[in-house]
Amino acid sequence: MRFDYKAWHIDCRARHDDDGSFYAHATITRSPATGRAHVETHHSGELDAFENESDALHCARIWAIEWCDEAASS
């Protein structure tokens, strides 16, 4: 699941493991701001395990939105 939120591009994924669980992940990127030379990227790591892909993607989406809101307020 890919979408834009505020100034960020978010890529949420669910990794299906051999144990049958789906593991939530999110990658957040932002294009370089004026005067900056590189793309800003943040990775969630494994957030949690779920029985289905939909729940894992939902978790990754919520985590990413909360992360972006926190980054914007700091």
CA 74 to chain centre: 19
pLDDT at position 33 is 67
Block mean pLDDT (10 aa), the chain, length 74? 93 97 97 73 96 98 96 81
pLDDT (0 to 100) of residue 32: 72
Cβ–Cβ < 8 Å for 47, 63: yes
Rounded to 5°, angle at Cα 23 from 59 and 32: 65
Cα separation, 58 vs 17, in Å, equals 18
On whether the pTM is more than 0.75, the answer is yes
pLDDT of residue 67: 96
Q: Say which CATH class 2-73 falls into.
A: alpha beta
pLDDT at res. 35: 65
**pLDDT recorded at residue 36:** 67
Q: Are 11 and 44 in contact (CB under 8 A)?
A: no
